[in-house]
Amino acid sequence: MSKRQGWKRQSWQDASAEIGEALGLEVQAGDEVRQIPDDLIEDSPYQARVSYDDAQIADLAEGMREMGFQGVLFVRPHPDGPRAGRERYQLVYGHRRRRAWRLICAERGTPCILPVVVRSFTDRHMLTIGAQENLQREDLNPLEEAQLVAWHQELYYPAGLAEIGRMLGKSEDWAKTRSRVAQLPDDLKAFVRRSPQLMTGILEISRIWPVDQAAALVLAGQAEQEALTLKQIRQQVAAYFMPPKERDEIHNQRVNALVVTEFTEEAQIPAPDTKLPAPSQEDPRPERRATPMSGAERISAETERILSQLRQWERLSVDETRRDAIHDGCVRILQEIQQIIEQLNADSQSQR
């Protein structure tokens, strides 16, 4: 029977008691504090934090230069056992202090030895301790938070996201959102990693991914470059799923509105020999002259935008995971361009 099938649903009260037990880490009278080399201790397999703030680590190291390593760290025996005849361990918590102590040892040119207490911890203990330690600092990025939720879904299966949210001191909606982030394809996760503020927008864009990966990447790149709002992203996603005829009608309405606006502005521009009225003394706004964009200028601007997107694709093509999607997108664009050219040539021939 698999681990998933073997576990029974766990109530929130049971999970809460387990978390309390895990967080009550204190050195007991019978504990032996051992001095273990740093290279025998691996990070916790449930440490969601990928990056550490160098300034914070430096601050910790500054205090250690004067006071030395204060307290102890808790480790568990490595579940895979010794390697090459040497015992191995996994760090339960205190990853930042460990990194700071490494700096001190490197400065002094001395072996890095850590004071530890060895205890048996379950995977659930490791996960809950790491989660509480990190979430209390509130500086995890969305992908790191998503990893915590995914681990809780695995280890506390079949607990629902509402229960997992309570375990982490968060709302059900928070847990649901991070669960969706954890399921994003790696290409879209990269945008969340670079621009955490785009998390919700990227989740919207992910609706396009199963249908058209290239289109999803283009929209994600546009959202990142142009700082699109969530409303703008949702409008573009909705437009993507519109029937082509309806989408074309909306596009034509927008183009016609631009043309009418330009025509109106041009009609309001006085002839060169017409004397402009002096600005009203009651109106402090500066005199304004309309400068409409011609059709050719608009096409030129749109061309530059398309070329800019193609150049971005060229840079992204070094990533093998994106290369096929970019290739497919370029093929589609070339096909559309060829059709437009053929239509233009046909129109030109008919007018002769």
Give the pLDDT confidence score for residue 287 in this predicted structure. 44
By residue count, the chain amounts to 352
Domain identity same for 39 and 113: yes
Q: Is 6 domain-assigned?
A: no
State both tokens at 96: 């930042």
Q: Are strands 33-37 and 41-42 parallel, antiparallel or unpaired?
A: unpaired
Q: Identify the pLDDT of residue 298.
A: 67
At 14 the pLDDT is 52
Residue-level pLDDT at 82: 92
* Structural domain includes residue 124: yes
Task: Specify if 240 maps to a domain.
Answer: yes
In contact, 142 and 178? CB cutoff 8 Å: yes
Angle at 187 between CA 182 and CA 188, to 5 degrees: 55
Q: What CATH number corresponds to the domain at position 98?
A: 3.90.1530.10
What's the sign of the alpha-carbon dihedral 203, 209, 214, 219?
A: negative
Tell me whether residue 224 is in a domain.
yes
Do 47 and 157 share a domain, yes or no?
no
Strand locations in 26-97, DSSP E? 33-37, 41-42, 73-77, 89-91
Q: What is the pLDDT of residue 195?
A: 96
Same domain, 336 and 250: no
Residue 145 confidence (pLDDT) above 50: yes
% of the chain exceeding 70 in pLDDT: 74
pLDDT computed for residue 290 by the predictor: 41
Average pLDDT over every residue of 330-334: 83
Query: Is residue 34 pLDDT above 70, yes or no?
Result: yes
The larger pLDDT score, comparing residue 311 to residue 272, is at: 311
- Is the residue at 287 inside a domain? no
Bigger pLDDT: 280 vs 69: 69
Mean predicted lDDT score pLDDT of the chain: 80
pLDDT (mean) for 96-101: 93
221 plus 334 within the same structural domain? no
Give residue-wise pLDDT tens across range 256-296. Answer: 555 555 445 544 555 555 454 454 455 444 444 444 556 67
Q: Are 127 and 36 members of one domain?
A: yes
| pTM of the complete model beyond 0.85 | no
* CB neighbour list of residue 78: distance below 8 Å, 6 or more residues apart: 42, 87, 88, 89, 90
- Of the candidates 102, 182, 90, 200, which has an alpha carbon nearest to the alpha carbon of residue 144? 182
Q: Say whether both 114 and 56 belong to one domain.
A: yes
Q: Is 1 part of any domain?
A: no
Q: What are phi and psi of 75, to 5 degrees?
A: -130, 165
Is 138 in a helix, a strand, or coil?
coil
Q: What is the pLDDT of residue 222?
A: 95
Give the range of the structural domain holding residue 154, as residue numbers without chain letter: 141-183
Say yes or no: 175 and 211 in one domain: no
Query: Which pLDDT band, with edges at 50, 70 and 90, does 333 fall under?
Result: confident
Distance of alpha carbon 195 from alpha carbon 288, whole angstroms: 38
- 50: pLDDT confidence band, cut at 50, 70 and 90? confident
Q: What token pair was written down for 246?
A: 């309806």
Spatial distance between the Cα atoms of 192 and 100, rounded to a whole number of angstroms? 28
pLDDT tens track for 224-248: 999 999 999 999 999 998 887 666 6
Using a 10 angstrom Cβ sphere, with 0-12 exposed, 13-18 middle and 19 or more buried, the burial of residue 185 is middle
| Predicted local distance difference test score (pLDDT) of residue 3 | 40
Q: Alpha-carbon distance 260 to 107, whole Å? A: 71
Statement to judge: residues 15 and 113 lie in one domain? yes
Averaged pLDDT, 146-163: 93
* 137 has a pLDDT exceeding 60: yes
Average pLDDT for 167-195:
96
Number of domains in the chain: 4
Contact 136, 148 (CB under 8 A): no
Residue 2 domain flag: no
Q: Are residue 17 and residue 129 in the same domain, yes or no?
A: yes
Q: Tell whether 122 and 15 lie within a shared domain.
A: yes
Neighbouring CB atoms inside 10 A of 263's CB total: 11
Closest residue by Cα to residue 149 from 188, 174, 175? 175
pLDDT of residue 87: 95
Q: How high is the pLDDT of residue 25?
A: 67
Same domain, 222 and 308: no
Rounded mean pLDDT of 5-24? Answer: 46
> At 77, is the pLDDT very low, low, confident or very high (cuts 50, 70, 90)?
very high
> How high is the pLDDT of residue 188?
97
Least confident of 41-45, 285-289, 331-335: 285-289
Q: Using a CB cutoff of 8 Å and minimum separation of 24, what contacts does 74-78 make?
A: 74/25, 74/116, 74/117, 74/119, 74/121, 75/36, 75/41, 75/116, 75/117, 75/118, 75/119, 76/118, 76/119, 76/120, 76/121, 76/126, 77/118, 77/120, 78/42
Domain assignment of residue 289, yes or no: no
Supply the pLDDT for residue 279.
47
Specify whether 15 is located in the same domain as 133.
yes
